[in-house]
Amino acid sequence: MTLRIDLGEVITAMITPFDKDRAVDYKALEKVSKHLLNQNTDAIVVAGTTGESPTLTFDEEYEMLYCVKSITSGQCKVIMGAGSNSTDTAISSSKKAQELGADAILSVVPYYNKPSQQGLIEHFGAIAKSVDIPIILYNIPSRTGIDMTPETIAFLAKEYSNIVALKQSNANLDLISEIKMLVPDDFALYCGDDSLTLPMLSLGAHGVVSVASHVVGNEIKSMIHNFKAGQVIPAMNMHKILYPLFKKIFMAPNPTPIKGLLSKMGIVENIVRRPLVEVNEAQVLELYDLLDVIEKQLNN
């Protein structure tokens, strides 16, 4: 299948590292970025929900985008989380992302003000008209309070050539079938929940926007490649090995568990911005022990 633009199969929604003063730790940002390259990620999302975007300033987001672009130096694509529940703000952020060289933007369904489907069409249409770079729509009703319908998604995909993909974070797999039946063939669908990656692949998803890829990116990519090559049993076996981690990294509000695990691995400090609170040492050890079990299973 030829896509409008291929942003890769494993896109990592990157955490934002903070220092002990809860300022963005740009030295650790370099460490995380290089770690993700070693995990074979195809693209990095800067300032998404996993990056604690609600507590970042615009200046911090733009500086992070600039830094990650410089650090990765074309080795992977860099996507900016540029959504907002204000259309004007989303347009401004999208334009800045384009100016700073983002390869694409991730634009979330407006939250809290709960627009109608027509409001969503006008919101995303205005963003699409304001920039030339690719746009990934992001539908996550558990956080926004509304669900973008397959019909709305299809309208936007057909009407705007730079709306190229959807990150779908909705466990209702019937909606995946409905979306795939309505959107153009060159429009990419990404799973927004690690544990649903394999089921969504079976319904035509192209890949995943992942949190778990911080630590098992190579394994997720192997699962996707095996499935697409018709090696369904190896893909299923990998899913079964990774599934406990997929669920456990959401034992507490994202990204607190994955940050705790990365801290145990010596990559970042276990620090988040309020109102989030850090996972405790017992939870960190539980995650670390699970990762050790997975590594042993993979090596058998």
Active-site residue identified among 96, 167, 221, 248 = 167
Residue type, 283: Q
Measured in Å, how far apart are the chain's first and last C-alpha atoms?
35
Name, in order, each residue with C-beta under 8 angstroms of 78's C-beta and a sequence gap of 6 or more.
43, 44, 46, 65, 68, 69, 72, 101, 102, 103
Ramachandran sector of residue 108 (left: φ over 0; alpha: ψ -120 to 50; beta: rest): beta
Whether 167 sits among the annotated catalytic residues: the reply is yes
Kindly tell me the burial class for residue 281, based on how many C-beta atoms sit within 10 Å of its own C-beta (0-12, 13-18, 19 or more). exposed
Q: Does the active-site annotation cover 243? A: no
For residue 184, whether the previous peptide bond is cis, meaning omega lies within 30 degrees of 0, is: no
| Residue in 138, 190, 248, 259 annotated catalytic | 138
Residues with a catalytic annotation lie at: 138, 167
